[in-house]
Structure 1
């Protein structure tokens, strides 16, 4: 049995599920949508819910003008998924399916006199027509409330709209879906970009979900290995819109740790399938789980918990590591350079180097604490044998600096590729030149084999150890740095 207290909820869980797929899949990161893009959060969630799709070549094209067909597909995938799927099943193309589903669901109405037909789905949609579709996707009580708008000063181009478009724009403005453009207009005839359209859509979904909170729905919850994508379980639940998915979870599968939900942690009216991610336990975590199983079976005593050997491979600082490194559970650092130097040993480890774009096998030497020398050898051997073949152009390990308490003084910290993995605090670079994961081959990515392997051995990565995440815009990050005690 895996105890509930072992479960760790990820504060960064943004990955989502495909509402039209059998098994939800993890959302991809797109090369043209950085985390600093103003529409990143909404577009990412739309992808995760299976509403928005990429355009190929790892591109999401946020600035691309959106066509009628694209927007109708988005709207009906969100607010009329059964109608959309039915149209697809009958052989309609994806854009035609959006058109047919919108008409069937009452989102596209003859009385609104929108200038679109099946032959015009490739033409760009204007902001006021997009607003009309979103308005028709809202609950009837909201539509009735704004059916006869009176505020002609809402936007500078408000009086240029007919009454039904005024109703739609009024509803979007009052529900905070849209605040118009910086020049005071709504931009009624402007074409809409994919980023604009997606943000308006997701904000409308929030309005609809608030109106439908408490409504009974049936969902399928999948458990998935977050590293391999393997399905671990699936379970159907009768729940409510707005319910917290975490409340549905039972114990984690054996030797797994809960790692967040794809697509957010609440039930939305736009999705019937949700995915709980579970990461495989590290060896230390498995040993900890086994220990508690033995306690439950009467084969071990809970009083011995703090003396178990798995603590040596747990991340962070603890008494077992203190005793291993310094011979005392109460000692955290060496008292002098001479004492520290006497505890060091020099090891040779395999690495990959990079020369003219070609990776070559090589070795490097490190001076580390003798008590963890074998562990460091194992770490570098695993990095070397990993398919990523991460290249290393420089290392730094033991160096004693009087008056400091860092782990380099202890021989329990290692820096890799310092120039390409800078140290930065609140946007100000302190050491190094850059951090460009995905672009610079020497930069260490959060999902790299290097981070994964070090952490599996109980080491901490400076890229996210002292901040909420690895984003270098805020907080303190030392992307080159790995430490055995988390310091």
Structure 2
């Protein structure tokens, strides 16, 4: 086989790989160690390591390039989460970043400020002692800057203030999530709830299996 043919074969193989559905695996030893006391805390009632799955997910980057990201979810939802993100990938929906929350010291505000799409984080709901749905690995946040958490007390992350009013939430905003779009439709088709439907506040980035 000539050099040109080899290069073309590699190119097509690479394109095929990007077109494939994501994969799931056990949480690796080194990653689990980094999660200790950061995104997983003993004694809080969060899932055991054996019940969590590491997903490796192809996605469309904000720069137009094909990328691979990772997130951790509960094993019970791993397959359907991979199905959802495969739909979003095929639909061309853009995501800026996708890394496990321990990469941001387990801090939700740092992950949001980085516009990071993530799922599992063993933490409580802010201002309460109640475990977040993220603590069970059955909730995720997508593009938090373009899809901020909005209450009467303010908007998080701070950069999300550019996208917290209805007039700003237009379809031409890269990475935005809107009612009836492919993102909301993919989650709702599998019974997940969207924080953009909430009445007392809006959490446009948030999807959860329980609806909370």
TM (norm. structure 1) is 0.27
Map 1:1-150 to 2 at 5 A.
Answer: none
The match for 1:369 among 74, 84, 103 is 74
State the number of aligned residues.
140
Aligned to 1:448: 181
| Residue 437 of structure 1: how far off its partner (Å) | 3.1
Map 1:183-194 to 2 at 5 A.
Answer: none
8 Å contact from structure 2 (residues 133, 139) kept in 1: yes
Q: What is the DSSP-based 3-state SS (H/G/I as helix, E as strand, rest coil) of the residue aligned with 1:350?
A: strand
Distance in 1, Cα, partners of 2:118 & 2:141: 5
Aligned to 1:429: 155
Instruction: Determine whether 1:418 maps to 2:123.
Output: no
Distance in 1, Cα, partners of 2:118 & 2:153: 24
Map 1:5-404 to 2 at 5 A.
Answer: 336-337=43-44, 339-342=46-49, 343-355=51-63, 359-386=64-91, 389-393=92-96, 394-402=116-124, 403-404=129-130
**Would the alpha carbon gap of residues 418 and 341 (structure 1) be closer, same or farther in structure 2, given more than 3 Å must change?**
farther
Instruction: Determine whether 1:461 maps to 2:194.
Output: yes
Distance in 1, Cα, partners of 2:143 & 2:46: 28
| Residue 417 of structure 1: how far off its partner (Å) | 0.6
Unaligned segments of structure 1, at least 5 residues? 1-334, 468-474
8 Å contact from structure 2 (residues 52, 73) kept in 1: yes
**Would the alpha carbon gap of residues 354 and 338 (structure 1) be closer, same or farther in structure 2, given more than 3 Å must change?**
same
Distance in 2, Cα, partners of 1:431 & 1:421: 9
**Would the alpha carbon gap of residues 427 and 401 (structure 1) be closer, same or farther in structure 2, given more than 3 Å must change?**
closer
**Greater RCO, CA 8 A, separation 6+:** 2
Alignment deviations for residues 259-287 of structure 1 (CA, whole Å, 9 cap, x no partner): xxxxxxxxxxxxxxxxxxxxxxxxxxxxx
| Residue 426 of structure 1: how far off its partner (Å) | 3.4
| Residue 384 of structure 1: how far off its partner (Å) | 0.9
Aligned to 2:172: 439
**Would the alpha carbon gap of residues 371 and 477 (structure 1) be closer, same or farther in structure 2, given more than 3 Å must change?**
same
8 Å contact from structure 1 (residues 458, 484) kept in 2: yes
8 Å contact from structure 2 (residues 46, 122) kept in 1: no
Larger radius of gyration: 1
TM (norm. structure 2) is 0.60
Unaligned segments of structure 2, at least 5 residues? 1-41, 97-115, 164-168
Q: What is the DSSP-based 3-state SS (H/G/I as helix, E as strand, rest coil) of the residue aligned with 1:454?
A: helix
Alignment deviations for residues 89-132 of structure 1 (CA, whole Å, 9 cap, x no partner): xxxxxxxxxxxxxxxxxxxxxxxxxxxxxxxxxxxxxxxxxxxx
Alignment deviations for residues 330-387 of structure 1 (CA, whole Å, 9 cap, x no partner): xxxxx944651422110111211121xxx2222211100011111111110011112x
Distance in 2, Cα, partners of 1:339 & 1:396: 16
| Residue 396 of structure 1: how far off its partner (Å) | 1.5
Distance in 1, Cα, partners of 2:153 & 2:179: 18
8 Å contact from structure 1 (residues 395, 417) kept in 2: yes
| Residue 424 of structure 1: how far off its partner (Å) | 0.5
8 Å contact from structure 2 (residues 184, 194) kept in 1: yes
